[in-house]
A and B are shown apart, each in its own frame.
Chain A
Amino acid sequence: MDKKTINLGFIEKIPLGQGFCFIVEKDEIAVFRPRSGGLYAIQNRCPHRRGPLAEGVCDAQTVICPYHGHKFCLQTGKGSEAGEEVRVFPAREEEGEILVDIGT
């Protein structure tokens, strides 16, 4: 599959400091908007028990899964538990809108 850049709409859709889940084609993508700036997108489902990461508490580097507290790096997708990792989608903000690259 080719790489596509998808426009997910206005940045204000994501409450400051939180995440929000978008379903793009078959992917559930959690996009985070940390208070300190930047925009990060990772797969929404926690590999442990499918917890919705978009509902997790986050800071500029980490999101905590609301189900069992597993943590994931927003930049690399690396998890706190051995062998756990989530997909990362390059994301950025342009003129107040959310752009995310999907595909490979």
Chain B
Amino acid sequence: MNKKNLVVIGNGMAGARVVEEILKRTPEMFQITMFGAEPYGNYNRILLSNVLNGTDKATDIFMNPLSWYEEKGIKLHAGVKVIKIDREKKTVIGVPLTRNDCPYSSSNPSPANRQTVVEPYDDVIIATGSRPFVPPIEGFGGPGTFLFRTLDDCARIADYAANCQKAVVIGGGLLGLEAARGLLTHGVLVTVIEAAPHLMPVQLDDEGGRLLKSTMEAMGITVYCQQIVKGIEKKNGKISHLVFHDGTTLPTDMVVVSTGIRPIVEIANEAGLAVGRGIMTNDQMRTNDENIFAVGECVEHRGQLYGLVEPIWEQARTLADVITGMNPQAAYTGSKMATKLKVMGVELVSMGEKDPAGEKDEVVTYREPNRGVYQKLIIRGDRLVGTILLGQVQAYDHLLQVLKDGNSVSPDRTELLFGQQESKSLTDVLQMPDGLQICNCNGVTKGEIRKAIRKENCTSVLKVGLCTKAGQGCGSCKNVIFQLIRAYADDLSSDPKEHYYVPGVPLEKSRLIAAIKAKNLKSVSTVFQELAGGKEDAVSKVGLASLLRSTWNEEYKDERDARFINDRVHANIQRDGTFSVVPRIYGGVTSADELIRIGTVAKKYNVPMVKITGGQRIDLLGVKKEDLPHIWRDLGIPSGHAYTKAVRTVKSCVGTDFCRYGLGDSIRLAQEIERAFQGIESPHKIKMAAAGCPRNCSEAYVKDVGVVAIEGGKWEIYIGGAAGGTVRKGDLLATVETHEEVLKLVGRFIQYYREHAKYMERTYGFAERIGIDRLKAILIEDEMGICKRLDQEIQKAASTYVDPWKKEAELPAYPHQFEGPELVQVLQEAVNNG
């Protein structure tokens, strides 16, 4: 196949990211050429502030060194600025820059006496980013005046500051404050000048801005607001002072201007592409030329410009889906903005709107002046539309999720700010001793995690886990790991892999399911062939097997190698290599005959231990693999699925048959639920219970799904309960009158969970992530109009359920399925190769 020529203009964060995303999807489709005006590989521009404040060296922030381009077969023109896209000839023309040329200048160096570079293209991606905006200031541009955009800018500022006493930063926005904090580390007195009435006018309201000013001043930075600089005065060739519009002056030795950014659009303009404030694209990131895409800060999408990394990563993923044909309908629909100030000693997050839009908006504020804490929520029609958190930001992750999901919020607004008591504040995690064990499953200490973050550059929970195994057991420490990353990593890069359903296929769950359906992929191996460039990945196999089985039911093409050993032989592997067998005992009720049969089988196969489980069943432990099919046949009882991520058991209490208190027939209902949904595969195990009254003897309040009988002949349905590594009381989903209604809603919830939970996400995490109000709206009020479909889907899964024990006791799924190690007789003479 002939490779198509793809030219990427811009080698910054957006350009490099989109190339990475494309290579992940199809390493072979394009011959890629990249132009970068800066003479480097690709570096993390977010960390420039850290380079300036000395926490990172310039070399620390490179993401892809020059060798990466070679390895990937990318032709990189570093230090070459594109001056024209010739849409007639389908070529891109660039000229090399010298050290003295500014890479983001709006005028091009004349191509005279420079060797131009011409590259042909089939497709172009424009990722030119933006340039600093400079307000009219007389005398700006000479020695001692700087902009703050590139690594070279950083180096020049630091060099110059070494011989200065005083520095002024013009611009009190995010980047200006980070520059000011960075300058402080170079031993100069720093003053910040802001034209607006308060700092960070884009992200903060009056009060937040005022509080931030006092926080900055406490650090030793002087702040003047509502001041506009007219000019810079020099004495003896050196900067001496600034002159303001009101005639006042301020002595200084150097000036850094950081007053915002503007998209770089000259080549798009010149090529006749549609340009507004930025280069206009549609939801597929295409410009008005079908072969020219754009991504990143240079883009105007639905009237919005984005200068933050997360939306740009999202744009890059969409663009890669479209351009590679992985999903031509992929759409970027815009992002909610969340800004985090990365200034040491200041905790500040702003997302969404900063002020109410009208009378109807509800504004919730919390103030603690002594600690410099200010928190504000803006709620519109029961949806969170904006948040400011200053001085204490532990609610950030939760609120960001709430804002992004757009779900309705609890009427008790304190829950939004203070309901997440489990998360620890940064001060707490900073104060933890290094020797404290954070991950109790794998015994990983805070010190080991900190080292992984600092030394190995693990800036996501997933990376920390791969590096240290922390968080890879039960997962209940993930929140603390996240807090540690926030405390110790300077860049909380969202690792796109965090959002992938499995690490080896670069798609989130919904996109993955869409691609699987579109391409009709029914086996794990075809998913790797079609969606992962043919590269099989052991870590991803079991998750894909689970998803495919849930997606296709009986049409799923089973490949047993993609399944964990438990699912290969339908039994749970034990620490000595033997297996456990747990027959299904519906609702915890057995019979004398069944017990006798279980006992007889246990004796016949010398089962070392017969144990009553916590789920009201009987566990035969220490069974050899070879005996499994024989035991199943002799038992004649279906599998209890105690070894897999599926519907397991439904516990019951004594209900109404004998109990003095029973209000509802919990035994019969438990059996009905268990028979209806037995063995249905899901993202994680589902444990259920039915209780005949609120005394809750079967612990229904702390199950993935629990039903509780209450006075008046009704049943309450609880979801998302847990009593394992995490303990959580379930949320009340609904109260209904009949067993039929219970079965319907339980099935509906299970199906929604199957479709939307991440792999290995238990219902307690899922219910919290989606929120009970949202779940009620979807599953009870049918807000999305999907209830009927969910009911049909779960019915389909239930009706195609086959007991794996019965099936494979008669006929193994593959030869040697139940064979143990083979003893090899070495008969032949030794072959001496000495």
Q: Using a CB–CB distance below 8 Å, which chain A residues touch chain B?
A: 2-9, 12-18, 20-25, 28, 34-36, 44, 49, 52, 54-64, 66-69, 71, 81, 103
The docked-state distance in angstroms from the alpha carbon of A62 to that of B538 is 7
When the two chains form the complex, which single residue of B536, B824, B828 contacts A34, counting CB atoms closer than 8 Å? B536
Q: Which residues of the partner chain A approach B828 to less than 8 Å between Cβ atoms?
A: 4, 6-7
Q: Output the nearest chain B residue to A81 by Cβ-Cβ distance.
A: B469
A25, B575: Cα distance in complex, Å? 24
Whether the pair A59, B537 counts as a contact (CB closer than 8 A) is yes
Cross-chain contact of B816 among A13, A23, A44 (Cβ < 8 A): A13
Q: Which of B563, B565, B823 has the most CB of A within 10 A?
A: B565
Closest residue of B by beta carbon distance from A100: B824
Contact between chains at A55 and B573 (CB < 8 Å):
yes
Asked whether A6 and B561 contact (CB < 8 A) given A55-B573, A57-B542, the answer is no
Residue numbers in A under 8 Å from B541 (CB-CB): 57, 59
B538's partner among A6, A20, A23, A59 (CB-CB below 8 A) is A59
In the bound complex, CA of A56 to CA of B823 (Å) = 20
Closest to A14 in B: B816
Instruction: Give the complex CA separation of A68 and B469 in angstroms.
Output: 10
Give B499-528 as 1s and 0s: 1 = Cβ < 8 Å from A's Cβ atoms: 000000000000000000000000001000
The B775-834 residues at the A interface (CB cut-off 8 A) are 814-817, 819-824, 826, 828, 830-834
In Å, the complex CA distance between A42 and B816 comes to 20
Residues from chain B with a CB closer than 8 A to the CB of A52 are 577
Given A22-B824, A64-B538, A57-B816 contact (CB < 8 Å): no
Contact B561 A21 (CB under 8 A): no
Residues of A contacting B577 in the complex (Cβ-Cβ under 8 angstroms): 52
Chain B residues within an 8 Å CB radius of A55: 565, 568, 573
Chain A residues with CB below 8 A from B824, complex form? 6, 8, 22-24
Give 1 or 0 for each of B539-566: 1 = CB within 8 Å of chain A CB.
1011000000000000000011111110
Q: Say yes or no for B472: interface residue by CB 8 A criterion.
A: yes
Query: Nearest chain B CB to A75's CB is how many angstroms away?
Result: 14
Contacts A21-B821, A57-B538 given: A15-B562 contact, CB under 8 Å?
A: no
User: 8 Å CB contacts to A: which residues of B463-487?
Assistant: 469, 472
Residues of chain A lying within 8 A (CB to CB) of residue B573: 55, 66-67
Q: Which of B472, B564, B822, B826 contacts A20 (CB 8 A)?
A: B822
Q: Which residue from chain A places its CB closest to the CB of B538 in the assembled complex?
A: A59
Please list the 5 inter-chain residue pairs (A to B) with the smallest Cβ-Cβ separation, ordered nearest first: A17-B561, A21-B821, A59-B538, A55-B565, A59-B536
Q: Please give the distance in Å from B408's CB to the nearest CB on chain A.
A: 39
Q: How far is the CB of B115 from chain A (nearest CB, A)?
A: 44
Bound complex: CA A57 to CA B822 (Å): 19
Q: Which of B525, B568, B822, B830 contacts A35 (CB 8 A)?
A: B525
Contact A2 B538 (CB under 8 A): no
Task: Report the nearest A residue to B821, measured CB to CB.
Answer: A21
In the assembled complex, the CB of B209 is this many whole angstroms from the nearest CB of chain A, namely: 49
Given known A-B contacts A57-B541, A58-B538, A23 and B823 have beta carbons under 8 A apart? yes
Residues of chain A with a CB closer than 8 A to B568's CB: 18, 55
- Contact in complex: A15, B561 (CB < 8 Å): yes
Partner of A17 from the list B539, B562, B564 (CB cut-off 8 Å) is: B562
Q: In the docked arrangement, what's the CA distance between A24 and B564, Å?
A: 26
Contacts of B563 in A (CB 8 A): 57
Residues of B within 8 Å of A21, CB to CB, are 820-822
Some 18 contacts from A to B, beta carbons below 8 A apart, are: A2-B830, A3-B832, A8-B822, A15-B816, A17-B560, A22-B821, A23-B824, A25-B826, A52-B577, A54-B821, A57-B565, A58-B538, A62-B538, A64-B538, A66-B565, A67-B573, A69-B469, A103-B830
User: What B residues does A28 contact at CB under 8 A?
Assistant: 821
Among A6, A64, A67, which residue has its beta carbon within 8 angstroms of that of B826? A6
Chain A proximity of B485: nearest CB distance (Å): 21
Residues of A contacting B538 in the complex (Cβ-Cβ under 8 angstroms): 57-59, 61-64, 71
Query: Complex formed: what's the CA distance from A16 to B524 in Å?
Result: 13
Which of B538, B560, B577 counts the most chain A CB atoms within 10 A?
B538
Measured between beta carbons, the chain A residues less than 8 angstroms from B819 are 20
- Contact yes or no, A24 B826, CB < 8 A: yes
CB-CB < 8 A to A8: which residues of B?
822, 824
How far apart sit A31 and B92, CA to CA, in the bound complex (Å)?
53
B residues in contact with A17, CB < 8 Å = 525, 559-562
Cβ B542 vs Cβ A4 within 8 A: no
**Among B472, B823, B824, B826: residue with most chain A CB under 10 A:** B824
| B816 in contact with A20 (CB, 8 Å) | yes
Q: Are B561 and A16 in contact (CB under 8 A)?
A: yes
Q: Indicate if the CB atoms of A56 and B565 lie closer than 8 Å.
A: yes
Cβ of B822: which chain A residues have Cβ within 8 Å of it? 8-9, 13, 20-23
Residue of chain A at shortest CB distance from B625: A55
The answer for the CA separation of A40 and B559 in the assembled complex, in Å, is: 20
Bound Cα distance A14, B815 (Å): 9
For A2, A14, A55, the residue with the greatest tally of chain B CB atoms inside 10 Å of its CB is: A55
Interface centre among B561, B562, B830 (most CB of A within 10 A): B561
Bound CA span A54–B577, Å: 11
**Bound-state Cα–Cα, A55 to B578, Å:** 12
In this complex, the member of A2, A5, A15, A36 whose beta carbon has the largest number of chain B beta carbons within 10 angstroms is: A15
CA separation between A7 and B821, bound complex, in Å? 15
**Bound Cα distance from A7 to B829, whole angstroms:** 12
In the bound complex, how far is the Cα of B516 from the Cα of A37, in angstroms? 25
Q: Tell whether, in the assembled complex, residue B821 and residue A64 are in contact, meaning their CB atoms are under 8 Å apart.
A: no
Instruction: Decide if A36 touches B536 in the complex (CB within 8 Å).
Output: yes
Chain B positions within 8 Å of A68 at CB level: 442
Residue of A nearest to B559 (CB): A17
Which residues of chain B come closer than 8 Å to A69, judged between CB atoms? 469, 472
A18 pairs with B560, CB closer than 8 A: yes
Q: Flag if B562 contacts A57 (CB, 8 Å).
A: yes
Question: In the docked arrangement, what's the CA distance between A9 and B830, Å?
Answer: 17
- A67 CA to B565 CA, complexed, in Å: 10
Shortest beta-carbon distance from B470 to chain A in Å: 13
Nearest to B537 among chain A residues (CB) is: A59
Question: When the two chains form the complex, which single residue of A7, A23, A35, A67 contacts B561, counting CB atoms closer than 8 Å?
Answer: A35
Instruction: Known pairs A8-B824, A49-B575; list 15 more (Cβ under 8 Å).
Output: A4-B830, A5-B831, A6-B826, A15-B561, A20-B816, A21-B820, A22-B821, A22-B823, A55-B565, A57-B562, A59-B536, A66-B573, A67-B573, A67-B575, A103-B830
- Which A residues are in CB contact (< 8 Å) with B442? 68
CA–CA, A101 to B538, complex, Å?
26
Tell me the bound Cα distance from A16 to B830 in angstroms: 30
Report yes or no: B565 in contact with A3, Cβ–Cβ below 8 A.
no
Decide: B561 and A57 in contact? CB cutoff 8 A.
Answer: yes
